[in-house]
Structure formats: C-alpha cells, structure tokens
Structure 1
Amino acid sequence: MRSPSKEVIQEILPFIRVYKDGSVERLAKSPFVPPSEEDPETGVSSKDITISQNPLISARLFLPKLTQPNQKLPVLVYFHGGGFSFESAFSSDHQRYLNSLVSHAQVVAVSVEYRLAPEHHLPAAYEDGWAALQWVASHANAIHEEPWLVNHGNFEKLYISGDSAGANLAHNIIMKAGVEVLPGGLKISKAVLTHPYFWNSKPVGEHDKAIPHVMWNFVYPTAPGGINNSMINPIVHGVQSLRGLGCSNMLVTVAECDELLREEGVWYFHSVKESGWKGELELIEVEGVGHAFQIVNGETEEAKNFIKSLALFLKN
C-alpha cells in the first residue's frame, strides 16, 4: 500500500503526476544525455552553460562543424516542448533533433533550459525565455563572453524557434520583442513555430476537458482570464494584436494527425495572416504524422526530411 505521503493529488496522464508530499513524477520524458564534443553522425559540438544563477537558467549550446576558424553563423534561440512541465534541453530526443537541425541549417543554437511547472508555475518559463534571449543578444556587443557566440555568432541573423509548448513560448517572446528593445537594438529576423501549443474556450464538445486545456490550468493556475489569457489564446484581444509580432519572417508547421493542436496551429497561421503583420509568413503541413514527430520519432525518414525543410527556411 502506498504511504499517505505518496498519495497522488494531481495527475495528467500520460505526462505527469504530483504527490501529496510535494514530489513530482514526470512520466513522459526522455533520458538526459551529456553534451558531445563532436557528434559522430553530424559533427556538431555541444556544451552546457549557465545563463543566470538567480533564477537558475541554463542552456545547451550547439556549434556545427566549421569550414573556417572565424566562420560567422546565424544564431538560433530554441525552446523545447513538453507542456511547460516536462522534457528538457538536455534530453536525448532534443539533443538528437538539435544536432540534426544545427548541422543542416548551419547555425549556432542556444537551447534554453527554462523552469518547469508545477515547481515553477507560469509565467516563470516566459520570464526565463526573455532573459535568455536578452543574454544571447548581449553578445553582439560582447557584454557577455561566451566564445561560441562572440566568435561565431552573426547577430544580424537572429532566429527563434520552439516545438509545442516551446513554440508557444517562442510566440510570446516574439510578441514581447515587438514592444521591448533587445540589447544593441537587435531584431529577430526569422521564427519557426513547430506544432504550436495554443488553445481557447470555444465550445466544441469536451473542449474544456481536453489535455491542452487541463494542462494550461495546471501550469498557470493564476492566469488572468484562465484559458482566455493571451499567452495561450493569441487572439483573445482580436487578430490585430498579432500585428505586433517582433520578427520579419515566420514559418508555422502542423502535423496532419495531431488531433488536438493541428487546428489551433492553422487557426494561428490565418490569424497572423489577417492581422496586418508586415512580415513574410509560411505554413507547412506534414501528412501522416503526429504531434512533435520530428522529436519523438527523429530517426524516421519523415522526420529527417522535415528537419531539412526547416533548415532550408533558416538558410534562405
């Protein structure tokens, strides 16, 4: 018999379970792996760094195989998925994904390890994401001295991306960048939102019992407006609010078999298109695959081809 202290007080299956003693069991996570001096398959090098001590924000940096010692490359800030409550920048599936994307796109990538709920409810992850982007941008003027960014970062090509909850995080950071100035006046030139996590309170059957709805209440229980907070419902104030997106080019991607979030991603794409935003916008839908397939099934041909298409967007 389970002891009273291990009584389950909250769970969202198959993802996470919270016990009465305060411990958290993350059921849907891939194992952590160390960085690699040189990935044998892609030649990409990675290392772990600390962005901030208080709050603790860390990141895994990725550098592709260089063709010349002082080669300058675009800088990609990346946010992992996992419903704001599980997964990691240090997980094996995201390590594999970033190795492949960095190799094909030829970018320096900063994969941010932001704080997770329920130990740190939202907006902690949003705050960490903005702090990480500011830290990265500060390297354009050598305010910080991470050598991979100082020596190889081309900050005229500053990109941002994320998958699922990470794509939601990226969207909200881009919105913030539309009204607040980054160090050195840097601008985000390209954004890739892959299978973005958005939701709203439209009355569609059991909509309020669906996992995206339940997960939002779990990770941000004090959200003003609940599920109609603009962080999760980007058009709660009308599509015109999206006119303020602080980037020049955006790619939104959805998966045909993503039953929960495909419709929301397409809805987001059309909302941006109708908002009056002046940037260039593109939508990719991959047939026959599910949510975050490029992460969880990264060895498949579909995943490899998809990553190449993302890299092509970043390179062009």
Structure 2
Amino acid sequence: MHANTLIAEIPNQFGIAIRVFGDGTIERPFNTPTVPPSSQDPKTGVSSKDITISHNPTISLRLYLPKLKHPHEKVPIFVYFHGGAFYFETAFSQLYHNHCNTFASQAHIIIVSVDYRLAPEHPLPACYHDSWEALKWVASHSTNNATHAEPWLIEHGDFSRVFIGGNSAGANIAHNMAICASDEALPNGVKIYGAIIIHPFFHSSSPVGSESLTGEQNISYLIWNFVYPSAPGGVDNPLFNPVGPEAPSLERLGCSKIIVCVGGKDRLRERGIWYYEAVKESGWQGQLELFEEEDEGHDYQLQKPDTEKTEKLIKRLVSFVHHHE
C-alpha cells in the first residue's frame, strides 16, 4: 500500500477494482495478465497481431484471423469493444485474447479488438472517440487507400458484413457507435450490419425493475461519476442513459440487426431488458433479438469459457452473424 493519500477506490463484485492515490499512482488489482498475439493459436488455429493506428492519442488494436478455407476467402468483420467498467482490462488481456480466439474460430470471422483509452487517466468520452476512430479505420479498408493499411482486412474482410459489439462497458460503447453511425457516415459508405450487445452497462436516475439503490448507493452511479465526472446530465447523459431526456431516438440506430444478451443472475440484467424493450418500442426498423441465460451472472462467457452455457451463447452469436446465408 502506498503511504500517500488514497483519493478514490471503486469496488466490483470481487472486491476493490481500482485505487487512485494522491501522487497519481493507480492500482487495478483485478486486471488479468496481458498476453502477446500468436502467429497461430494452438487450440483454435486463429492468428493474431497487434497494430497501432494512432499515436496521438494512442489507439491500438488486436486483430484475429481464422483459418481460411482458401487463400482468397472473404469473411465477416467484427469490431469488438472489451468490458471493464471503462477503467480496467485491455484488449491484450488473457481473458479477452482467449475469448476472441474462440469466437473468431467458431464464427469464422475477422475480429478487430479495440484497446481504447481508460479512465481515470483519460476520462470519458475518450473511449468513445477512440472506438469511433477504430471503426472508421476498419471501414477505410473497403478500398485500397487505407492509412496504416492492414492486409488481413483488405484481402479477407467482407465489408458488406461488418459487425460491432462488446460486453458490459464494451456493449455500451457498441450501442453508442451505432448511434454515431446514424449521424456520421463511415468511410466509403460502409454500413454496420449488426450489433452484439452483451450484458450492457447502462443506468439512469430513475430505478428500473427491482433496482432499489439509487444515487451514491448504486455502484453504477459511483462508476459513472468516477469515469466521467464532468458528464452533462450526470447518469442521465445520453452515453449512459439511452432513453434519457437528451438522448437521440433509438429509432436512428445505425445498423440492420441487434442481439441483446442478458444473464438471469446479473446485476445489470434488468437494464439489458430495459434497453431491449426501448429499442423494440422505438420504431427502429431492424431485426431485434433477445438471448437470456437464466442461471448465469455477469460476463460468464469470459469467466467460465469452457461450460455448456458459454458454448450455447457462442452458438447463438454464430447463428446471429451467419443466419442470412
């Protein structure tokens, strides 16, 4: 423990997730170890590599390429935003690396996993800026004049099937990217085909369902004020409350289909259902699905990757990606 003053600490379901000290030192006790990319993962055959697409600010990505059926094969692209409440975890952690290897292999897709900047060093909305820049960078590869051009995307990416998604805070980011895509065109006219919203992290000043704790007693409230202390509207900021007074209509979501996934034992379950119902009632014209695993908690697909329940979720997401074929 540091001798200097403890300024802030935020808990999660396992204990204290982050500590901030007066000298600027930050501890993230629950970050999982980082791992390097692999030229070919021994379990899945998926290849991965890291690339930095911007140095000011620094925006890095980890790309995953499945084993191809032939040298000129084109496969869907999935731009993925990791979870971690906006302030911990990374695209390079073992937890997310293993998950992306599995999903890239089973769904037979290219994954672009975004390592956006974290709070509190970089308060929100930095992560949204980074994620939109990454999405624009991916879309720029639909022609051959991309900056920092990536051959995997140019040679094997199917830009008619670009998906976005994430878990928890990453699901929140994915939602906001779909909103951005309704306001600002991606390069070369690329459209987001589908969004995968897993255990999304949303909140509002009004409780939903069986939520009883409001204000500073609610962990979501504490986290939001920690990661975005200057947020206009506080927890009702449109980035956190997608149906708040200043939020753009969900009718404008810039994609063709969405799947919302919830866990029956997840603290955020009712917010996920709330979001699903709000999209359904908004007049949005896309295809909307809900998937619930009743006996599982938050991010079980990451914490328990080798279980039947996780396999069931992955299969459902594979079907979501490929069902039109």
* Matched residue, 1:250: 258
**CA contact 2:238–2:246 (8 Å) conserved in 1:** no
| Alignment CA distance shift 1:240-1:55 (3 Å) | closer
2-side partners of 1:129 and 1:238: how far apart?
A: 22
Task: Describe the SS at the equivalent of 1:134.
Answer: helix
Task: Describe the SS at the equivalent of 2:129.
Answer: helix
* Matched residue, 1:150: 154
Give yes or no for the alignment of 1:33 onto 2:35.
yes
2-side partners of 1:151 and 1:139: how far apart?
A: 9
2-side partners of 1:114 and 1:236: how far apart?
A: 25
TM-superposed CA distance for 1:300, in Å, is 2.1
**CA contact 1:239–1:272 (8 Å) conserved in 2:** no
The superposition leaves residues 21-80 of structure 1 with CA deviations (integer Å, 9 ceiling, x where unpaired) of: 101101221110111111111111111001111110000000000110011011110000
Task: Describe the SS at the equivalent of 2:183.
Answer: coil
Instruction: Give, as a single letter, the amino acid of the residue that structure 1 aligns with 2:220.
Output: P
Worse-superposed segment, 197-206 or 16-25 = 197-206
TM-superposed CA distance for 1:2, in Å, is 4.7
2-side partners of 1:298 and 1:205: how far apart?
A: 31
Instruction: Give, as a single letter, the amino acid of the residue that structure 2 aligns with 1:134.
Output: K
Aligned with residue 188 of structure 1, among 188, 192, 211: 192
TM-score by length of 2: 0.94
Instruction: Give, as a single letter, the amino acid of the residue that structure 2 aligns with 1:48.
Output: D
Aligned with residue 234 of structure 2, among 226, 229, 235: 226
| Alignment CA distance shift 1:50-1:2 (3 Å) | closer
Task: Describe the SS at the equivalent of 1:266.
Answer: helix
**CA contact 1:17–1:24 (8 Å) conserved in 2:** yes
2-side partners of 1:148 and 1:264: how far apart?
A: 37
Q: Summarize the alignment of residues 1-316 of structure 1 with structure 2, pairs less than 5 Å apart.
A: 2-3=2-3, 5=4, 7-13=5-11, 14-144=16-146, 145-203=149-207, 204-208=211-215, 209-237=217-245, 241-258=249-266, 260-316=267-323
**CA contact 2:238–2:247 (8 Å) conserved in 1:** no
Instruction: Give, as a single letter, the amino acid of the residue that structure 1 aligns with 2:222.
Output: V
1-side partners of 2:301 and 2:141: how far apart?
A: 30
Instruction: Give, as a single letter, the amino acid of the residue that structure 2 aligns with 1:76.
Output: F
- Any gaps of 5 or more consecutive residues in structure 1? none
TM-superposed CA distance for 1:186, in Å, is 0.9
Instruction: Give, as a single letter, the amino acid of the residue that structure 2 aligns with 1:266.
Output: I
TM-superposed CA distance for 1:239, in Å, is 8.4
| Alignment CA distance shift 1:18-1:276 (3 Å) | same
2-side partners of 1:314 and 1:241: how far apart?
A: 25
2-side partners of 1:2 and 1:155: how far apart?
A: 49
**CA contact 1:70–1:151 (8 Å) conserved in 2:** yes
2-side partners of 1:161 and 1:96: how far apart?
A: 17
1-side partners of 2:312 and 2:25: how far apart?
A: 40
Question: Percent identity among equivalent residues?
Answer: 51
**CA contact 1:239–1:274 (8 Å) conserved in 2:** no
Instruction: Give, as a single letter, the amino acid of the residue that structure 2 aligns with 1:68.
Output: H
**CA contact 2:237–2:246 (8 Å) conserved in 1:** no
Task: Describe the SS at the equivalent of 1:224.
Answer: coil
The superposition leaves residues 203-222 of structure 1 with CA deviations (integer Å, 9 ceiling, x where unpaired) of: 55322222111100000000
**CA contact 1:240–1:276 (8 Å) conserved in 2:** no
TM-superposed CA distance for 1:299, in Å, is 2.3
Task: Describe the SS at the equivalent of 1:10.
Answer: strand
**CA contact 1:243–1:275 (8 Å) conserved in 2:** yes
1-side partners of 2:248 and 2:296: how far apart?
A: 32
**CA contact 1:239–1:275 (8 Å) conserved in 2:** no
Worse-superposed segment, 297-306 or 67-76 = 297-306
- Runs of 4 or more consecutive aligned structure 1 residues displaced over 6 Å after TM superposition: none
